[in-house]
Amino acid sequence: MTNTVSSSALDDRDGVIWLDGRFVPWREARLHVLTHGLHYGGSVFEGERVYDGHVFKLAEHTRRLHDSARELGYRLPFTEDELMDATLEVVRRQGIGDGYVRPVAWLGSEHMGVAGGDASVHVAIATWEWPHVFSTEAKEQGIRLGTSRWRRPPPDTAPVRAKAASLYSICTLARDEAYRSGYDDALLLDYRGQVAEATGANIFLVAGETLYTPVADCFLAGITRATVLDLAAELGVRAVERRVRPEELGQFDECFLTGTAYEIQPVRAIDQHEYRTGKTTITMMESYDRLVRQITA
């Protein structure tokens, strides 16, 4: 397994977490066991990267957190500006150079029932050092994906436009099974049986010098995915959004994943199909690295 997330327990660290408008000691940032969001999946979250002390695309992530909450039927009690200010302050207080930020919002514990009703809305922001999801070796050589039996649901059965915790249960199941089978991550198909994404990242495939990525109509179109499409346009790299069938996977030369945590992660194999980390992948990786290091929050 090539995942490099720290094994240190996330509930037992020094520092502070921003919780409902104030900074509290890290170990005291708690919620009740009868919290509605814990029982019924009514929480939304973001993942943000810190580079050289700056949060990359903070405004876009903060806007999406608000949008995700609205998709689940509630509104956050803090404005986008308030959340951005809080994010920058918690990064400063924690002294994060290169790391990760996790804003999360959830419904409280006023009552226990399926309907969210008049439950209070809570928001927290935490940050910690986290250089890479995968090892340096995996970053250079690529990771292996196995196609999962779990699929992305149709858009009329789940809030697929939200970054909602409830949708990630599929990802947890798929990734755990992938690990047990010797893979680094899982490839999820959509409800039609077409290529969708990995468990925490969007997917790009390369044929010749053309980029292909699935149409994001039943899964989250990531902020990093959009960034890569913008970079491709600037670099004159042709990029095509279209449906990709699993039987086409052997026709591509390169493959990589994109996500805030993953950044741009090369893939060396999906099931029996093998790929190289070629010119297009390397170009996108280098361009992305330059971009995140030169743009501040």
Active site residues: 163
Distance of CA 34 to the CA centre of its chain: 27
Neighbours of 68 (CB within 10 A): 22
> 99 is written with which tokens?
């790391």
> 140 is written with which tokens?
């250079």
Q: How far apart are CA 253 and CA 24, in angstroms?
A: 49
CA dihedral 18, 61, 11, 72 (to 10 degrees): 90
Q: How far apart are CA 276 and CA 54, in angstroms?
A: 32
Q: Are 19 and 108 in contact (CB under 8 A)?
A: no
Based on the number of CB atoms within 10 Å of its own CB, is 281 exposed (0-12), middle (13-18) or buried (19 or more)? buried
Q: Are 196 and 218 in contact (CB under 8 A)?
A: yes
Q: How far apart are CA 115 and CA 74, in angstroms?
A: 12
Q: How far apart are CA 158 and CA 109, in angstroms?
A: 23
Q: Are 119 and 155 in contact (CB under 8 A)?
A: no
